[in-house]
Amino acid sequence: MSRTLVFATLAALALAPALRGQVEIERRRAAPARGEIRIDNAFGAVVVRGWDRAEVLVRGVVAAGADELHLEGDQEGVHIAVSVPDSWFHAAGEDAAFRSTLEVQIPAGASLGIQTVNATVDVQGVVGEVEVSTVNGNVRIAAGSKAIDVETMTGAVEVRAQGAPVEIETISGAITVAGASGEVGIESVSGTVDVAGADVSALQVKTTTGGVVFRGSIAARGGIEIETFSSPVRLVLPKTTRAVFELGSFGGKIESAFCSGTPVTRERFEPFRQLRCSTGPDAFEIQVRTHDADIVLAAE
């Protein structure tokens, strides 16, 4: 038998289980009302909804070639995992035969951790901490009265925070945060960043390309720090905003509805054009710096 034929035969055997039909599942397990729920599903989709029962319900479809669906738990929490052959991490991609879809209902007060490789994630109605780690796939979260943490490489991230602190780290993909309050941290390479909220005490955004927009009000104390390379920045703040502004751009324009009459300057030995001014006490500082993109501060 030729070497080429041997390799082809081995590859076919490795992928054969994935070509059979998928398996429908429905399993339940008791769960602590404020415990920890962990979900691992490398390929496919994870949909989570919070409910008022001290129980976990898992429904969905598991890829036929998957090794097993694990549903284990104790007084601390529950672990749900779809285990798959190692070969899938090199071959799976977007092939529907490798995809497992889990629809999970968990106690609303539990903390939630989700880990995927190539899967979409949708979480609603969970008021505990929510942490999502993935490589590729859109993430949508409408939950959390505690903390929300998302780490991904590619895919859009949409968070409706309901007042929870938010941390998002991604390489590419649009980021949308609504209902922000308190602390928000975002780090991205490419993709737009759009944040809306009220009484935000700390907003930090670092990105390379893709526009950055913030709409909302700020707390009495804290700060906004936005640093981009070629991303335009637009802040829309209430007319009554009291803060210290420090805006700088190397090649972009600076426009501000605040500090009327304060000129944009370029200091000696300083390559950036700057606008520095204050509308009130120095308890809140707004700092924005870009390399070759515009900065606009609008009042409403």
pLDDT (0 to 100) of residue 96: 64
On whether residue 106 sits in a domain, the answer given is: yes
Residues 93, 215 within the same domain: no
Our count of domains for the chain comes to 2
pLDDT (0 to 100) of residue 21: 61
Residues 229, 134 within the same domain: no
pLDDT (0 to 100) of residue 271: 73
The rounded average pLDDT for each run of 10 residues, N- to C-terminus, in the chain (300 residues) is 41 45 89 97 96 97 86 96 78 67 97 95 96 96 89 96 91 95 94 95 95 96 95 96 94 90 74 87 92 93
Residues 67, 151 within the same domain: yes
Structural domain harbouring 94: 22-155
- CA 27 centroid distance within chain: 29
Residues in the chain: 300
Please give the C-alpha separations between residue 28 and each of 23, 34, 48, in angstroms, as whole numbers.
Answer: 16, 17, 14
Angle at 197 between CA 194 and CA 203, to 5 degrees: 70
pLDDT (0 to 100) of residue 136: 93
Q: Which of 109, 104, 1, 96 is nearest to 43 (CA)?
A: 96
Residues 189, 299 within the same domain: yes
Residues 144, 59 within the same domain: yes
pLDDT (0 to 100) of residue 81: 95
On whether residue 14 sits in a domain, the answer given is: no
How far is Cα 265 from Cα 262, in angstroms, rounded to an integer?
Answer: 9
Q: Which of 232, 230, 193 is nearest to 215 (CA)?
A: 193
Single out the residue in 139, 155, 171 at which a domain terminates: 155
pLDDT (0 to 100) of residue 40: 96
Residues 126, 213 within the same domain: no
Count of beta carbons in the 10 Å neighbourhood of residue 21: 9
